[in-house]
Amino acid sequence: QKEVEQDPGPLSVPEGAIVSLNCTYSNSAFQYFMWYRQYSRKGPELLMYTYSSGNKEDGRFTAQVDKSSKYISLFIRDSQPSDSATYLCAFLKAAGNKLTFGGGTRVLVKP
């Protein structure tokens, strides 16, 4: 079983729709949860990080963590064509510096 599972997509939505992304993980030692956005041929850009169960909101983005279910989500409201990218979930152990990535979900927002 992989430590992190993430649907590769592609996930295609119309402009203005809510994009819902998620990852499941199996390692209880993961304490920090991140979402990166990566445009084609560019480096990953940190969108959000959190370390506790619950929701964290930043503009159109909401990150959700459920440690009991080992499940994290990212929601993008009012999606725009510029949100078309690959979204990577990533996990970090306490005091560690080795990121464990999901495989990435490709998102297409159609005008």
Partner 1 sequence: DTEVTQTPKHLVMGMTNKKSLKCEQHMGHRAMYWYKQKAKKPPELMFVYSYEKLSINESVPSRFSPECPNSSLLNLHLHALQPEDSALYLCASSQESGGINIQYFGAGTRLSVL
Helix, coil or strand: residue 55: strand
Question: Measured between alpha carbons, how far is 97 from 44 in angstroms, rounded to an integer?
Answer: 16
Give, as ranges, the residues between 55 and 74 that touch partner 1 (CB under 8 A): none
Binding string to partner 1 for residues 24 to 43, with x set by CB under 8 A, is what? --------x-x-x----xxx
Confirm if 30 and 100 have CB atoms less than 8 A apart. Answer: yes
- Interacting stretch for partner 1, rule CB under 8 A, among 14-22, 53-61, 65-73, 89-97? 89-97
Does a cis peptide bond (omega within 30 degrees of 0) precede residue 14?
Answer: no
- Where does this chain bind partner 1 (CB under 8 A)? 8, 32, 34, 36, 41-46, 49, 51, 88, 92, 96-99, 101-104
